[in-house]
Amino acid sequence: MKKLAGAALVLTLALAGCGGEESQAEKDLDKINNQIGDLENKIKNLKSENDQLEKNIQIKEEELEKLQETERSGETDGSDTSEEGSQEEEDPES
């Protein structure tokens, strides 16, 4: 009987010792959860950067459109002045 009680005591102590420590599965789960959190933060940062880049692209596209409009209006004005300039050049030659 003493041997059985001793074995039960040893088994109880062993189980109590194991219960205080995290199992490998719990450690792995914590590690994975931390990695998931890190990835979620990276995704959030990338989305923020992407939004900023899209805003910058939109601004640059608007600037390009304004420049193209200015260029088009300059071409119509420029074609009138170039015709006038060519007429002026012809007059001194004749």
65 part of a folded domain: yes
Residue carrying structure tokens 């959860």 = 33
Q: Is the pLDDT of residue 94 over 50?
A: no
Q: Residue 37 half-sphere exposure, CB side, CA atoms within 13 Å?
A: 6
CA distances 13 to 5, 7, 21, Å, are: 12, 10, 13
If one compares 61 and 13, the residue with the highest pLDDT of the two is: 61
60 part of a folded domain: yes
Q: Is the pLDDT of residue 60 over 70?
A: yes
Q: What dihedral do alpha carbons 59, 60, 65, 66 form, nearest 10°? A: 80
Q: The domain containing residue 45 runs over which residues? A: 25-77
Domain count, the chain: 1
Q: DSSP letters along 50-83, please?
A: HHHHHHHHHHHHHHHHHHHHHHHHHHHHHHHHHH
pLDDT category at 79 given cuts 50, 70, 90 is low
66 part of a folded domain: yes
Total-model pTM: 0.50
pLDDT (0 to 100) of residue 20: 60
